[in-house]
Structure 1
Amino acid sequence: MTKNNYVRTAIGELPSDWEVELLDNIAERKSGHTPDKKIEEYWNGNIPWISLKDLSRLNKGFVYETTDFTTNEGIKNSSAVLLPQGTIVISRDATVGKVGILAEEMATSQHFINYICGDRLNNVYLYYHLLFRNHIFERIATGSTIKTIGLSFFKKLKVALPPIREQERIASILSAWDNTIDLKEKLIDYKNEQKQGLMQRLLTGEVRLPGFKGEWKKERIGKLITESKEIASKPDLNKRITVRLNLKGIQKRDVSSTEKEDATTQYLRKSGQFIYGKQNLHKGAFGIIPKALEGYQSSSDIPAFNFNEEVDPYWFFYYFSRESFYTNLEKISTGTGSKRINPKDLFKVKIHFPPYTEQQKLSEVFLCFDREISLLKEEVEALKEQKKGLMQLLLTGKVRVRV
């Protein structure tokens, strides 16, 4: 299509044969409501009810599950509405502008605006259109603590309306992209579950790798690692390490323009060291320092450790990575307010460990899993970026689809 076939509209430049319509003219708007929480007969029924608890389920296409369920009595005795399958829901409070498509009949709380599409509007197309224009919801939201969008905005909301066949084709193409992403993400979940199951069996000695026999040693952690206390000669706020609450989640510190350097002693850290957060070790805040963070610094709240010659660093990391192991470490935390796990207490914990050569082989198994999972994640991110580009082209009519 040439440039001459485009026109400026209230929502941007669009093909001349597309319409711009008030959403209220082509879809039936419905509000949500919350049945009385004090009346037991209104709850724990068989009608899925979307609330702010379910925000994480939006922006993922169809909504299949909800946290809470209401009853027919709850619907009858409140302003809640039983919405048909295929209804589009939009969050108007808290995290505004999150969108979903009902996979079955459901109701929503008052924190959502809902649209039942008419004959001129494909619901899946509308889902992607609203997802693409998410920035307008964020811009219009008001409130200092909890953001909200007033009803007047939705009464004036306009959408781009291609011919219905083109809407259906756009929806089909973007849905296919999302299905591919979903399959990749499910494969990642499967690989992670497979890895966790193997870790539990192989890292406890329940199952041995071929060619390895004999008893494992039992020793205190303090005999396997030594705390590194090399003080940084020049503390540098821009070269400090933080430990996120996820496995292997080590990164540079984010520095704000208003943050000032404090007087806390900083310790020099080296790649290959084991590191953890004292307050959150039991939540999975630990890892091996990567080469990229060689020479970075951390305070004593994020201690680092060198390994003795009997220990393969990645075997040690994967041994800790079993959720059943690291969550149990909360038992050794100390303190009255913010509890911490100090090195001296961690050192007393006894673990079973195999010979060094077996440790290396075990590390190789799980490093292979991690490399495969990492590649799959990269593929997912690439697909998501490609999908963004496709949405930009298809939902503005810059590229037209054959119908």
Structure 2
Amino acid sequence: MTDLHPRLRFKGFDRKPSLESLESITKKKISYGIVQAGPNFEGGMPYIKSTDLNSELILSRLECTSPEIAKKYSRSEVTSGDIVFSLRGNIGISRIVPESLTVANLTQGTARISLKKGFVAKYIQEELRTLRLKRRIHSVSKGSTFQEISLADLRQLEVLVPDCQEQQKIANFLSSVDSKISQLTEKHRLLKDYKKGVMQQIFSQKIRFKDDDGNAFPDWEEKHFVDAFTRVITKNKENNENVLTISAQKGLVSQLEYFNKSVSAKDVTGYYLLEKGDFAYNKSYSKGYPMGAIKPLKQYSKGVVSTLYICFRPKNGYNEAYFEQYFDAGMLNREIAKIAQEGARNHGLLNVSVKEFFDDIKLTVPHLKEQQKIAEFLQAIDKKIDGVSEQIKQTKEFKKGLLQQMFV
């Protein structure tokens, strides 16, 4: 039998927690939400979908249903302090309804858990997220690829319940950790927004840098792409097996690291061989990269990519770090759109001619020393963003470790 004593307890609490079914600790019967919410009805009753549970429940983010439908399904109304639980797809995810949503409805893919007096919602929510409970949820869920749990099975799920004071102590402590994560997440968002705004002003030349003596740099010059970059078409004769792919977040990374497997051809000797500092352009559009992503090779001394990529390296007088920022800001999108042919998207692949890419695309380029100043400035912001990202990661790991010890 599983030992129900958590490994980590607050001082002064010795009573062994009890196992209780969800049904026994709720004051209202756990029930489904609206069967069909209809089109978004401005000014109507807000309702919560399972996808809304991926982030904090905020009124302005929710769609609304009509008063008639809301009245018909009044049994699915939730109030502040209720727990909304996902029944389908990402089963087990849950959110506590905040005070700003004192009345709202649920869609059918979610369930309402209204707790009896003496049970702390924050504690029960964290218990619903434990690995022990998730294993139980998955064991009773229906389906292999798209999983769901029935209301009958959800009602019979057992949660570990200490006394009310210990629940509150745990909940308060975890809330403080969550608050720290939220603050760091907001700081991360603001830094990214700040960088985006600064980049727009720098690359539109509304912000200019000066040299070390305080003098203005020369005017920016218009160049064709071929003036600044040399195409890389070196074939992989050395049979380098470090096959790369483009990640929006990490740049050019090993397929083994990104996919946990190689998705390349068995023979990669025909691939392009890149050296550190070379760029690769993936003509496939993706989220945040409507005209495809351009990334430099930074993590490895060498690597190979498919010949579907357009590869190039900066000529003398053109700073790699500057152009990494320039490309990532989407400054080439308008130029690429000009040369992308009619019917350009073929399974997500843009029809971009290599010749037109080098000959027709134009760049407005600052003096080399101003390129370096811009790159250093933006890299300093990146360092701050990465630092906050690491803080978020560490705080989440800290919370995960606590949960593993506080909850059986």
One-letter identity of the residue aligned with 1:69: C
Please list, as runs of the form range in 1=range in 2, the aligned pairs for 1:2-401 lying within 5 A after superposition. 8=3, 16-27=15-26, 28-34=28-34, 36=36, 43-57=41-55, 64-78=59-73, 81-103=76-98, 104=101, 105-133=103-131, 135-136=134-135, 137-210=137-210, 211-235=215-239, 238-244=241-247, 246=248, 249-254=251-256, 261-263=265-267, 265-280=270-285, 282=290, 285-290=293-298, 292-323=299-330, 325-326=332-333, 329-334=336-341, 335=344, 337-338=346-347, 339-340=349-350, 341-347=352-358, 348-396=360-408
AA paired with 1:243?
I
CA distance, structure 1, for counterparts of residue 295 and residue 106 of structure 2: 42
Residues 377 and 11 of structure 1: CA distance in aligned 2, closer, same or farther (over 3 Å): closer
Does the aligned pair in 2 maintain the 1:80–1:109 contact within 8 Å? no
Between the aligned partners of 2:388 and 2:307, the Cα distance in structure 1 is 36
Change (3 A) 1:11 1:114: farther
User: Contact between 2:283 and 2:309, CA under 8 Å: does it hold in 1?
Assistant: yes
- Superimposed CA distance per residue, residues 29-84 of structure 1 (whole angstroms, 9 cap, x where no aligned partner): 4323335455x6x8333422111442422xx5x55554411233212223652111
Query: Does structure 2 conserve the Cα–Cα contact (< 8 Å) formed by 1:188 and 1:373?
Result: yes
AA aligned to 1:77 is K
Shift of 1:120: 2.4
Task: Please tell me whether the aligned partners of residues 7 and 16 of structure 1 are also in contact (alpha carbons under 8 angstroms).
Answer: no
Q: Which amino acid aligns with 1:287?
A: K
**Count, aligned residues:** 383
Residues 1:333 and 1:53: Cα distance change in structure 2 (over 3 Å): farther
Residue type at the aligned position of 1:337: N
Give the gaps of 5 or more residues in structure 1: 1-5, 397-403
Sort the Cα spacing of 1:275 and 1:7 in 2 relative to 1 into closer, same or farther, 3 A.
Answer: closer
Change (3 A) 1:317 1:98: same
Residue 333 of structure 1 deviates from its aligned partner by: 2.6
Deviation at 1:135, TM superposition (A): 2.8
Return the letter of the residue paired with 2:391: E
- 1:345–1:102 CA distance, 2 compared to 1 (3 A): farther
161-170 or 134-143, which deviates more: 134-143
Q: TM-score, normalised by structure 2?
A: 0.85
Unaligned 5+ residue runs, structure 2? none
Q: How many Å apart are 1:256 and its aligned residue?
A: 6.2
CA contact 1:241–1:252 (8 Å) conserved in 2: yes
TM-score under structure 1 length normalisation = 0.86
Counterparts of 2:3 and 2:292 in 1: how far apart (Å)?
52
Q: Deviations over 1:204-248 (max 9, x none)?
A: 212212332432100111211111111112545x5110112x255
Aligned partners of 1:178, 1:45: CA distance in 2, in Å?
A: 31
Q: How far apart in 1 are the matches of 2:250 and 2:355? A: 22
Identity among equivalent pairs (%): 21
Change (3 A) 1:80 1:252: farther
- How far apart, CA to CA, are the structure 1 residues paired with 2:189 and 2:278? 28
Is the contact between residue 272 and residue 313 of structure 1 (CA under 8 Å) also seen in structure 2?
A: yes
Shift of 1:350: 0.9
Deviations 1:379-400 (A, max 9, x none): 111111111111122234xxxx
Q: Determine helix, strand or coil for the equivalent of 2:129.
A: helix
Tell me the distance in 2 between the aligned counterparts of 1:256 and 1:65.
39
Structure 1 residue 182: deviation in Å?
1.0
Residue 267 of structure 1 deviates from its aligned partner by: 1.4
